[in-house]
Amino acid sequence: MKLVLLGPPGAGKGTQAKMLIEKYQLPQISTGDILRQAVKDGTPLGKGAKTYMDQGKLVPDDLIVNLIKERIKAEDCKAGYIFDGFPRTVAQAEALDSLLASLATQLDAVVSINVPEDELVKRLSGRRTCKNCGALYHMLYTPPVKEGICDKCGGSLFQRSDDNEATIRQRLSVYREQTAPLIAYYTKQALVKAIPGTGDPEEIFAKVCQALSNT
């Protein structure tokens, strides 16, 4: 199965992706995670991406498309993958369509997660991530048992540098202008499964699985 998780920053794409990879045994391809790792490692990709990410802007399409081209060639992508945070622009979606067509394949579904904007700001401001295993927490909704420590692996939790209110507002504006048009793009291809993203993550996951059961 080849799946796209689409939604604004904070919609819960990463949270749902982590549950989906367990159920379907497929890799999660998060362009955000790949870019953050590249920044941390100081690679040319990371150096090129950092300024854009710090400002809440999108990294140029060519960098992202090249990254995806390489990633989906990997052995673990043979049975499919779950894109989280990609594609982000119509140009990226068109490049993905061409790439998949050249490999004689196509997407199976696009899960579009909707959450009101005020809730997105609350979620992103309170998000914490484990440095070690990547587990996600929220300081109010899903806090760890011991402050600052991951329940799953004991790693320390950190706050993403782009999760401050000014950058969050900028990311939401970029989403509205550049990413939201993808809903219409994929609706034309009859791929969209629209899921309300408010409520318990487990309940949302059940709705996602239900929507995917016929794909």
- Amino acid residing at 178: Q
Give the span between the Cα atoms of 93 and 199, in whole angstroms.
29
Is 12 near ligand AP5 (CB under 6 A)? yes
Residue 128 a catalytic site member = no
Q: Which of 114, 125, 142, 159 binds ligand AP5 (CB under 6 A)?
A: 142
Q: What angle do CA 163, 167, 171 make, to 5 degrees?
A: 100
The first and second tokens of residue 39, run together, are 């920044």
- 26, 134 contact by CB (below 8 A): no
Is 85 near ligand AP5 (CB under 6 A)? yes
Residues 6+ apart with CB under 8 A from 20: 3, 5, 26, 28, 82, 205, 208
Residue 18's H or E segment, with its range, is helix 13-24
Q: What angle do CA 122, 134, 159 make, to 5 degrees?
A: 40
Is 127 near ligand AP5 (CB under 6 A)? yes
Which of the following is catalytic: 18, 123, 171, 193? Answer: 171
Nearer Cβ to ligand AP5 (171/193): 171
Q: Supply φ then ψ for residue 130, to 5 degrees.
A: -80, 130
Residue 36 a catalytic site member = no
Is 31 near ligand AP5 (CB under 6 A)? yes
Residues 6+ apart with CB under 8 A from 77: 27, 29, 71
Is 2 near ligand AP5 (CB under 6 A)? no
Mask of contacts with ligand AP5, 173-212, x by CB under 6 A?
--------------------------x-x--x--------
Q: Which of 19, 21, 24, 52 binds ligand AP5 (CB under 6 A)?
A: 52
Nearer Cβ to ligand AP5 (80/122): 122
The least distance separating ligand AP5 from the CB of residue 93, rounded to whole angstroms, comes to 10
Any idea which residues carry the catalytic annotation? 13, 88, 127, 160, 171
The site for ligand AP5 (CB under 6 A) is made up of 7, 9-15, 31-32, 35, 52-53, 56-59, 64, 85-86, 88, 92, 123-124, 126-127, 136-138, 141-142, 162, 171, 199, 201, 204
